[in-house]
Amino acid sequence: MGKHTVIAWTNHTFNPWWGCTRVSPACTSCYAATWARRVGQDIWGDNKARRFFGEKHWREPLEWNSSALERGARERVFCASMGDVFEARDDLVEHRIRLWKLIKETPSLDWLLLTKRVENVAAMVPWKRRWPTNIWLGTTIEDQEMADLRMPQLVRLPARVRFVSCEPLLGEVTLKRWLNRTNWVIVGGETGAKARPMEIAWARSLRDECKKANTPFFFKQWGKWAPDKDDMLRSSQKNIHNRNIDGEQWNEFPRQ
């Protein structure tokens, strides 16, 4: 999980550590926890140790930055796919400080910090009103309860790009009241053996809200449950990465 990634909306992934604790319904079938167990890492839960990495791992983003700079490009880094940057644990503090330094040293990379703990952000970042311009701050919204809890906290934070990941989308959600302060919405269904279905109407509704508000919309995938030709949801591994809503792909990104 680094230079090459299958996540459609990023160029790279970087993890300052592995491990986390479940905090909301989106976490029930956490792909990261499943992957960690598969590779023999017992790192999920409050009382479990986290997995940390050495110098070679931390140098990788510096190499991505150099490559992007040479090409005159900007590249996106999803941080962190195997944990949460804003988990409140004493053993993570020094690694989080190192991450802030790394972000400063890689100005050709846009760092996508996606968290389910947006309430912790203000106290954990070293900036006040002037954040680095290469930080995109996002929060996970899986249902309306989480939207009502997390969105007011997200839109108060002064990141240059604020985004929402409605993945896995587990219920009908409206974001209307916050879209004028949101730069990007990602929507996707759940994968895995125990994946919960995302109703077609939920995805359409968020697409339509974003279109009306002129907010960039990215549809990542239907997941395990995808619509068939009759607009009925079917469990299908064949269509797990189906990215069409009503025959159209949505690949919009924040306006720079």
In a domain, 75, yes or no: yes
| Tokens read off for 92 | 């993570």
The pLDDT value given to residue 5: 72
Cα separation, 90 vs 78, in Å, equals: 23
Domain count, the chain: 2
Cα separation, 252 vs 256, in Å, equals: 12
How high is the mean pLDDT in each 10-residue block of the chain (256 residues)?
Answer: 73 98 97 96 98 98 98 97 98 98 98 98 96 98 98 98 98 98 98 94 98 98 94 88 94 91
Cα separation, 177 vs 181, in Å, equals: 9
The pLDDT value given to residue 2: 54
As a whole number of Å, the CA-based R_g of the chain is 18
In a domain, 23, yes or no: yes
63 with 35, same domain: the answer is yes
* DSSP label at residue 49: P
The pLDDT value given to residue 97: 98
Largest CA distance in the chain: 53
DSSP string, 141-205: --SHHHHHHHHHHHTTS--SEEEEEE-S--S----GGGGGG--EEEEE---STTPPPPPHHHHHH
In a domain, 177, yes or no: yes
| Tokens read off for 111 | 């760092």
Give the end of a domain, one of 119, 140, 161.
140
The pLDDT value given to residue 1: 47
Residues 6+ apart with CB under 8 A from 223: 168, 188, 189, 190, 191, 195, 197, 198, 240
Give the end of a domain, one of 140, 159, 194.
140
| Tokens read off for 27 | 């976490």
* DSSP label at residue 130: -
